Structure 1
Amino acid sequence: MFLRQLEPRTARTTAEVIKFALWPLAVMTVLNRVFIKAVNGFITDDYRPVYQASLDFLNGRPVYTANFDSVDPHYLYPPSGTLLIAPIAAIDYEKSRWLFIALNAIAILIAWYLLLRLFRYTANSVAAPALLLAMFMSETVINTLVFTNVNGCVLLAELIFIHLLLKRRDLWAGAALGLSIAVKPTLAPLLLIALVRGQWKVFITALGVPIALTAIAWPLSKDPEKFLTRTAPYIFESRDYFNSAIVGNGEYYGLPPWLTWGMRLVMGVLVMLTLWLLYRYYRDDEVFFVCTASGVLLTASFLLSSLGQMYYSMMLFPFLMTVVLRNSVLRNWPAWLAIFGFMSYDKWLSDRWQHVGRNLEYLRITFGWGLLLLVVFCVLGDRYLAARRDGRLPFEIDPAWMRSAPDSRDPASASAEPRDTVAADSVRSRNGSASEQQKRISVEG
């Protein structure tokens, strides 16, 4: 049956034409990224310090010995992460690195499938090859594999967490999040989503798993206390290299601290207002709320914390996929200009205009994250103001056209399975239009 799917056929519909065109492009791109670019590697090697630390851990030697005065990648994982990753040093460096590349590539592919299922698409839909190609064309996937970082596994943990959270399997959702936090705290802001949804059991395993792993790793490590006294303070320091957070670029360009803090505070206020609007009007629209709020939280953490690196943007894939929903905040060109800034693999360094090219290359990630947060705030703010003018605030802020039946020409509904209305339209189907609500209130009164 599988081989029949590979049989060359002439496309009869537009959807088939797109699928037949995109699948070879997507598959060959994946193979190139995994077996050519990743195996070739690059000057930046995130894996070597991880392998060395794992080897030191297995042989009872000190782990936290990095020279923080250099700009080379440093080993920053806590003892719990060291315990989880240590088995990779059981074989020689080269084979271990290939295995780690394969592990992350497989994790990204599983995350790709879970992302399709989250939005009710199948591997037979047009969305499948389009999403796969887009993911492996992005800077975040390419450099995760080339630098041999653990971000692919963190993305998989995020998708598992979201799926289990939506299914109300709280302890398992927390366990998936806890395993990722045990290695690196990138996904820790997602605990806020569990908090506002009242899913308290998530915290039991999300915090319990890294605590338990730390308790196991601590007596097995030669110098675990050095993580707290030496490595942790460095993590919370801002640096002016390989840092696309506001504070990182502020230090690189010599901005005064008051200006850097001012920008961070303004963006922080916009983020809080955005999250309030999402919670107030969209918390019952579960897929939209969880994916959009997680995207806002993670983008804010990249932009406003002490360290933000471009390939962290991999964790925004669930947010970007909300574009297929009719009430998505990403259905406008400024949003995708922002996404280009932090997702594109293009380099803007110029031999002819060196100063301008350098600024474009160094600032596009920061501007991209910032513009994305601004776009989300403006879209939701515009909906809020329009709803207030129309007297719809007690019920919803989506305009009327978003409540209508999906257009068959809409790519969000093309080649997809029948949608679960609870996932994308639960609020609108339950509440109806503002006028219907008003009629119901008047009749019941």
Structure 2
Amino acid sequence: MLLRQLEPRSARTTAEVIKFALWPFAVMTVLNRVFIKAVNGFITDDFKPVYQAALDFVNRRPVYTANYDLVDPHYLYYPSGTLLIAPVAALHPEEARWLFILVNAAAILGAWYLLLRLFRFTLSSVVAPVLLFAMFMSETVTNTLVFTNINGCVLLAELIFIHLLLKRRDLWAGAALGLSLAVKPTLAPLLLIALARGQWKVFITALGVPVALTAIAWPLSKDPEKFFTRTAKYLFETRDYFNSSIPGNGEYYGLQPWLIWTIRVGMGVLVLISLWLLYRYYRQDELFFVCTASGVLLTASFLLLSLGQMYYSMMLFPFLMTVVLRNSVLRNWPAWLAVFGFMSYDKWLSDRWQHIGRDVEYLRITFGWGLLLIVVFCVLGDRYLAAKREGRLEFGIDPVWIKPVPSDGKTATTRMDSPSSANGSATATAKPISVEG
């Protein structure tokens, strides 16, 4: 059957033309990123301190000994994360790095498949090669593999969490999130999604898994307490290098603290209003709400907290995929200008216009995250004001071209590509645009 699928034939539809054109590009891009760029590596090597920490852990030597005055990558995982990555110390450093690359590449491919299924697409749809190509062309996937860090596994944990959360399998959803939190706190904001949906059992395993792993790792470690007395302090500090958050770039460009805090608070207010509108009017449209709210929360954490790095943007793939839903907040060009800022692998350093090129390169991620949050706020705010002005808030805030308001005052039941709930009172099953081949 597989060989039959690979048999060369002429496309008969536009969808088949796109698939036949993009599958070779997607597959070859994956192979290039995994076996060429990643294996070649780069001056930035996130794996070296991880391997050294694993080696120190299994040999009962101190782990948290990094000199934080240097700009080299530091080992920042929790003791529970050290326990999880310890097996790599059994291999030669180069073999261990290759294994880490393959594991993360496999995790990203697994996340790609789960993302397709989350929005009800199959491998035979035109979306499959488009999404695969877009993911592996992005800076976030490319540098995750080239720098050899664990973000691919974190993305897979996020997709598993979202799938299980939507299926109301709370304990298993929490376990998937907990494994991620045992290594690094990137996905911690997603606990607020479970809280908003009243899925309390998620917290049992999401917090229990890292606590249990820490309890196991503690007596096996030489200096586990140093993470909390030394490394944690560094994590809460704002560094002015390799940091695209508002405080990070603010310190790099020498902004006054009051101005940095004004920008952070202002953006925080926009985020809170956006989250309130999502909760108030979309929480029963489960797929849209979970993916959009998680994207807003994660983007806000990258932008507003002490550390935000460009390749964290990988965790926004579920949010970006909502563009296939009719009520998506991303169906406008400013949203994708923002996405270009933090996803593009392009470099803007210029030999001719050095100062301008450097500023564009350093600020495009910050501006991209910020613009994305502004777009979400503006789209939701415009929908709310329009619905209020037209006296249809009780039916939700989706524009009438998405969900017409019936004249009899009852919730419309007309089947649409991607219905959204009305004021949280009617359950809606989101269905993406049909783009099957």
Task: State the TM bucket, normalised to the shorter chain.
Answer: over 0.9
User: Residues 54 and 88 of structure 2 are in contact (CA less than 8 Å); yes or no, is this contact kept in structure 1?
Assistant: yes
In the alignment, what sits opposite 2:419? 425
1:285·1:424 contact (CA, 8 Å) conserved in 2? Answer: no
Maintained 8 Å contact 1:325/1:424: yes
Is 1:239 the counterpart of 2:239 in the alignment?
Answer: yes
Aligned to 1:357: 357
Name the SS for the 1:425 alignment partner. coil
CA distance in structure 2 between the aligned counterparts of 1:243 and 1:275, rounded to whole angstroms: 25
Query: Does the 8 A contact of 1:286 with 1:423 survive in 2?
Result: no
Secondary structure at 2:272 match in 1: helix
Q: CA deviation at 1:425?
A: 2.2
In structure 2, the residue matched to 1:403 is 403
Instruction: Report if aligned partners of 2:282, 2:420 keep a CA contact under 8 Å in 1.
Output: no
Deviation at 1:424, TM superposition (A): 4.2
Query: Is 2:130 the partner of 1:136?
Result: no
Change (3 A) 1:204 1:5: same
- 1:307 maps to 307
Question: Aligned-pair distance for 1:204?
Answer: 0.1
Residue 422 of structure 1 and its aligned partner are, at CA, apart by: 11
Deviation at 1:400, TM superposition (A): 1.2
CA contact (8 A) 2:104 2:145 kept: yes
Contact 1:182 1:210 in 2 (8 A): yes
- The answer to whether the Cα contact below 8 Å between 2:396 and 2:423 also exists between their aligned partners in 1 is no
- Residues 162-216 of structure 1: CA deviation (Å, up to 9, x unaligned): 0000000000000000000000000000000000100000000000000000000
Q: What is the TM-score with the length of structure 2 in the denominator?
A: 0.94
Query: Post-superposition shift, 1:427?
Result: 1.7
Give secondary structure in 1 for the equivalent of 2:187: helix
Size of the alignment, in residue pairs? Answer: 416
Calculate the aligned-residue CA RMSD, in Å: 1.4
Check conservation: 1:384, 1:397, Cα contact below 8 A: yes
Aligned equivalents of 1:426, 1:197: Cα separation in 2 = 16
> CA offsets per residue over residues 70-111 of structure 1, 9 Å max, x none?
000000001000000110111100000000000000000000
Instruction: Report which of the two has the higher share of helix.
Output: 1
Name the CA distance, whole Å, in 2 between partners of 1:339 and 1:18: 23
Task: Tell me whether 1:271 sits opposite 2:265 in the alignment.
Answer: no
* TM-score (ref. length: structure 1): 0.92
Residues in 2 aligned to 1:431 and 1:204: alpha-carbon distance in whole angstroms: 29
2:282 and 2:423 in contact (8 A); partners too: no
Unaligned runs of 5+ in 1: 405-420, 433-445
Q: In the TM superposition, what is the alpha-carbon distance from 1:282 to its structure 2 partner?
A: 0.3
Map residues 167-182 of structure 1 onto 2, 5 A cutoff: 167-182=167-182
Per the alignment, do residues 276 and 422 of structure 1 end up closer, same or farther by CA in structure 2, a change over 3 Å counting?
farther
Aligned amino acid, residue 330 of structure 2: L
Check whether the contact 2:281–2:424 (CA below 8 A) recurs between aligned residues. Answer: no
1:279 Cα offset (Å): 0.3
Kindly indicate whether residue 285 of structure 2 is the aligned counterpart of residue 291 of structure 1.
Answer: no
Partner of 2:164: 164
Q: Compute the displacement of 1:403 (Å).
A: 2.2
Offset, 1:428: 5.6
Gaps of at least 5 residues in structure 2 are 405-414, 427-437
Q: Percent identity?
A: 82
C-alpha deviation, 1:394, in angstroms: 1.6
Task: State whether structure 2 residue 17 is matched by structure 1 residue 14.
Answer: no
Aligned partner of 2:25 in structure 1 is 25
DSSP 3-state at the match of 2:3: helix
- Matched residue, 2:215: 215
Counterparts of 2:60 and 2:424, CA distance in 1: 60
Cα shift readout 1:125-180 (whole Å, capped 9, x = no counterpart): 00000000000000000000000010000000000000000000000000000000
Q: 1:296 is matched by which residue type in structure 2?
A: V
Find the counterpart in structure 2 of residue 385 from structure 1. Answer: 385
Moved over 4 A (4+): 421-424, 428-432
- Contact 1:329-1:380 within 8 A present in 2 as well: yes
Q: Which amino acid aligns with 1:342?
A: F
The whole-number CA distance in structure 2 between the counterparts of 1:376 and 1:2 is 42
Find the residue that maps to 1:101 and give its secondary structure. Answer: helix
Are the aligned partners of 1:288 and 1:424 in contact in 2 as well (CA < 8 Å)? Answer: no
The residue aligned with 2:37 is: 37
Does the CA contact (< 8 Å) of 1:245 and 1:309 recur in 2?
yes
Q: Give the residue type in structure 1 aligned to 2:133.
A: L
- Counterpart contact for 1:80–1:182, Cα < 8 Å: yes
Superposed CA offset, 1:22-48 (max 9, x none): 000000000000000000000000000
2:85 alignment counterpart: 85
> 349-358 or 394-403, which moves further after superposition?
394-403
Match of 2:188 in 1: 188
Cα distance in structure 1, aligned partners of 2:195 and 2:78: 25
CA contact (8 A) 1:89 1:96 kept: yes
Partner SS state of residue 205, structure 2: helix
1:202 equivalent in structure 2? 202
Deviations 1:324-368 (A, max 9, x none): 000000000000000000000000000000000000000000000
Q: Secondary structure at 2:291's aligned position in 1?
A: helix
Determine if contact 2:282/2:424 at 8 Å carries over to the other structure.
no
The answer on whether the counterparts of 2:268 and 2:300 sit within 8 Å (CA) in structure 1 is yes
Is 1:375 the counterpart of 2:350? The answer is no
